[in-house]
Structure 1
Amino acid sequence: MTQLIEAAGAAAPASRETAAVDVLGGAASEVNLRRFLHGLPGVDGVGLEARAAGLGTRSIKTSSKAWAVDRTIGLMDLTTLEGADTPGRVRSLVAKALMPDPSDPTCPRVAAVCVYGDLVDVAIDALGDAHVGRGGTIGVAAVATAFPAGRASLEVKLADVGDAVAAGADEIDMVIDRGAFLAGRYGEVYDEIVAVKEACRRPDGGYAHLKVILETGELKTYDNVRRASWLSILAGGDFIKTSTGKVSPAATLPVTLSMLEVVRDWYALTGERIGVKPAGGIRSSKDAIKYLVTVAETVGEEWLVPELFRFGASSLLNDVLLQRQKLASGRYSGNDYVTID
């Protein structure tokens, strides 16, 4: 990877397609994609897990923990993705997004709410002036492309995306075709992401942000995670996301670290920042802060903004609010450094 970085420099390309051509050394053909993806250095799994474990053992100052707790809330996507979802359930979710802690109006709001495409309009209406489209800060993300399995024709997937974008979705969370990827049909996966990105185009010429879900629990190996991350970015993904939350294991720190390393290398190659979203299985403030440290140490603190990092973990919010209340009560006032509990 160092040789690639030295060869390409850090100039930002005019477009993602241009960047892909530069990185691949030619058009995004099946042959070029295979040569590039299989030419990537193999992942040292033991070393990766050791780095992740080391980052996860950091102690932080009490003042830093207070910042980290608030930042975690501001980076969350609150999610409801169940077959039994109703407009009322989505409105309740939005109410939580608007006021995570009703007892404390200083508590920050979350970054976005994530729903099925047919409920996007309900979420936007419930957000009112807090919606980013009306000058607010909370976005609406919609899962699409036959989420979570992705087992549908391309025509159906694109219609799914188009409906969500037409309803006003600010972000689209797509799933890759894991079957095609694991069978080595990289060109097929690439072309599908490109088509979905185009389906994210709005009438005004802008695009809904595209998060590409790798479903890392089904990819099995770190090498596959690295390849899928590169493939998703080359094809136009604005974010790479670990999981749907429907498959175990979902997000893990080593997997997220591997994805962050790809994002770091892409930035070194092109000057373009790509987002990362670990989703599923992150349930405690302690775990969330491990991810924040890993992001800061791997790609830099400038990634700790909603445009570049998200938590997809609705169950996380309750624990983070509990920790926030403990900090506000002065529980840690006598100890400058704390272990995250």
Structure 2
Amino acid sequence: MTINTQDHGRAIAPAARALDVLGGETTEAGLRRYLEGIPGVDAVGLEQRAAALATRSIKTTSKARALDTIISLIDLTTLEGADTPGKVRSLVAKAVTPDAADPTTPRVAAVCVYGDMVPAALQALGSAHAGAAGNGIAVAAVATAFPSGRASLPVKLADTADAVAAGADEIDMVIDRGAFLAGRYGQVFDQIVAVKEACRRPDGTYAHLKVILETGELNTYDNVRRASWLAILAGGDFIKTSTGKVSPAATLPVTLSMLEVVRDWHRLTGEKIGVKPAGGIRSSKDAIRYLVTVAETVGEQWLRPELFRFGASSLLNDVLLQRQKTLTGHYSGPDYVTID
């Protein structure tokens, strides 16, 4: 259902979370009043806290565990127009066996591909797929006219439904940033609600929904905070920073701001929402900073695939090199990792 923003008394598509938090006032005006009533972000304070967290060091004995944790939280990603089934099979092989020389290396959380590549990913995963035992590697698919989101709602829903029907475990959708920046919060809300419903499988279960805010286009921390609340109210299971196609992508202050929303939501409702920074995180050093920020903001209980992910393609290589250095005391040559 599309919102008429001039009809301030019209009810927006219901979501159980919104009904509870908004006290049943599911109207465009009620949603706007709630979001615009959220306290503004102290940008200087946020950036100073992120900078302070980035200086935290971890003991050498903890570094090996941190590196293994990072690997287990990665959505190993290929989202290029030139993707082929062969490239996806290579990606899956790396996801299943990140380091062929060390069988103790953990597997990644998921592989993330375009919807038409889901069957190739599932075939390549075989018994390693999360659907086989519930604890394997998931298949995530981007949808809703990724990365721009510039398509009609029926097209976005068909894009989502096709990926779910193909077997995707998770859907990474993009919000309509134009609608959000124009203040049409109800329209964005309705689209997330509709996409969530399109994630429903025939057995009544749902593919997990990650809502991409594309924070690099939202311009302010206040907008990031409002968009985070909006995505959660509408039923998102995760809030995700970026498509990786816009600069800046993930940054530590933006991710901290989103984590603070997740923390506040948990305090308000008891429900845990996931966070996924994506794009631009390429080094182990940077990834460890994110682990520290998560632990200090929402707690170490969030450092598991159900609640935190890194969207990355090249990060894994650096983590593998650093892991080898930690275990053996020396760096391996560049041929130790595959070229993505």
Question: Which TM-score applies when normalising by structure 1?
Answer: 0.91
AA of the residue aligned to 1:52: A
For structure 2, the 5+ residue unaligned runs are 1-13, 332-340
Contact kept in structure 1, 2:99 and 2:320, CA below 8 Å: yes
SS at match of 2:289: helix
Task: Tell me the number of residue pairs that the alignment of Structure 1 and Structure 2 aligns.
Answer: 317
Q: 1:121 aligns with which of 103, 119, 122?
A: 119
Counterpart-to-counterpart distance in 1, 2:330 and 2:148: 45
Counterpart-to-counterpart distance in 2, 1:209 and 1:308: 11
Counterpart-to-counterpart distance in 1, 2:312 and 2:83: 17
In structure 2, what is the equivalent of residue 156 of structure 1? 155
In structure 1, what is the equivalent of residue 318 of structure 2? 319
Q: CA deviation at 1:109?
A: 0.4
For residues 174-197 of structure 1, the C-alpha deviation after alignment (integer angstroms, 9 at most, x for no partner) is 000000000000000000000000
Q: Is 16-25 or 34-43 further displaced after alignment?
A: 16-25
In structure 2, what is the equivalent of residue 210 of structure 1? 209
SS at match of 1:295: helix
Counterpart-to-counterpart distance in 1, 2:16 and 2:177: 26
Correspondence list, 1:152-191, <5 A: 152-191=151-190
Counterpart-to-counterpart distance in 1, 2:25 and 2:99: 50
Counterpart-to-counterpart distance in 1, 2:70 and 2:127: 23
In structure 2, what is the equivalent of residue 13 of structure 1? none
Contact kept in structure 2, 1:28 and 1:187, CA below 8 Å: no
In structure 2, what is the equivalent of residue 264 of structure 1? 263
AA of the residue aligned to 2:121: A
In structure 2, what is the equivalent of residue 304 of structure 1? 303
Query: Does 2:28 match 1:30?
Result: yes
Q: CA deviation at 1:31?
A: 0.3
Counterpart-to-counterpart distance in 1, 2:100 and 2:286: 24
Counterpart-to-counterpart distance in 1, 2:240 and 2:16: 23
Query: Does 2:78 match 1:80?
Result: yes
SS at match of 2:202: coil
Counterpart-to-counterpart distance in 2, 1:323 and 1:128: 29
AA of the residue aligned to 2:119: D
Q: CA deviation at 1:29?
A: 1.4
Contact kept in structure 1, 2:96 and 2:107, CA below 8 Å: yes
Q: CA deviation at 1:137?
A: 1.0
Counterpart-to-counterpart distance in 1, 2:46 and 2:104: 38
For structure 1, the 5+ residue unaligned runs are 1-15, 333-341
Percent identical among aligned pairs is: 80
For residues 189-246 of structure 1, the C-alpha deviation after alignment (integer angstroms, 9 at most, x for no partner) is 0000000000000011000000000000000100000000000000000000000000
Query: Does 2:90 match 1:92?
Result: yes
Q: CA deviation at 1:23?
A: 1.7
Counterpart-to-counterpart distance in 2, 1:178 and 1:29: 20
Counterpart-to-counterpart distance in 1, 2:268 and 2:15: 14
The alignment yields a C-alpha RMSD, in angstroms, of 1.1
Counterpart-to-counterpart distance in 2, 1:229 and 1:188: 15
Counterpart-to-counterpart distance in 2, 1:145 and 1:244: 12
SS at match of 1:312: strand
AA of the residue aligned to 1:210: L
Counterpart-to-counterpart distance in 2, 1:27 and 1:131: 41
Correspondence list, 1:213-228, <5 A: 213-228=212-227
Q: CA deviation at 1:25?
A: 2.8
Q: CA deviation at 1:331?
A: 5.5
For residues 81-131 of structure 1, the C-alpha deviation after alignment (integer angstroms, 9 at most, x for no partner) is 000000000000000001111111111100000000011011001000000
In structure 1, what is the equivalent of residue 334 of structure 2? none
Query: Does 2:55 match 1:57?
Result: yes
Counterpart-to-counterpart distance in 1, 2:58 and 2:157: 45
In structure 2, what is the equivalent of residue 7 of structure 1? none
SS at match of 2:246: coil
Contact kept in structure 2, 1:112 and 1:141, CA below 8 Å: yes
Counterpart-to-counterpart distance in 2, 1:286 and 1:173: 26
Counterpart-to-counterpart distance in 2, 1:185 and 1:43: 21
Correspondence list, 1:31-50, <5 A: 31-50=29-48
Q: Report which structure shows greater RCO (CA 8 Å, sep ≥6).
A: 1
Contact kept in structure 1, 2:15 and 2:193, CA below 8 Å: no
Q: CA deviation at 1:21?
A: 2.0
Counterpart-to-counterpart distance in 2, 1:19 and 1:99: 39
Q: CA deviation at 1:55?
A: 0.5
Counterpart-to-counterpart distance in 1, 2:15 and 2:301: 25
AA of the residue aligned to 2:144: T
SS at match of 2:101: coil
Contact kept in structure 2, 1:26 and 1:32, CA below 8 Å: no
Q: CA deviation at 1:59?
A: 1.1
In structure 2, what is the equivalent of residue 275 of structure 1? 274
AA of the residue aligned to 1:304: L
Q: CA deviation at 1:28?
A: 2.4
Counterpart-to-counterpart distance in 2, 1:331 and 1:151: 48
Q: CA deviation at 1:27?
A: 2.8
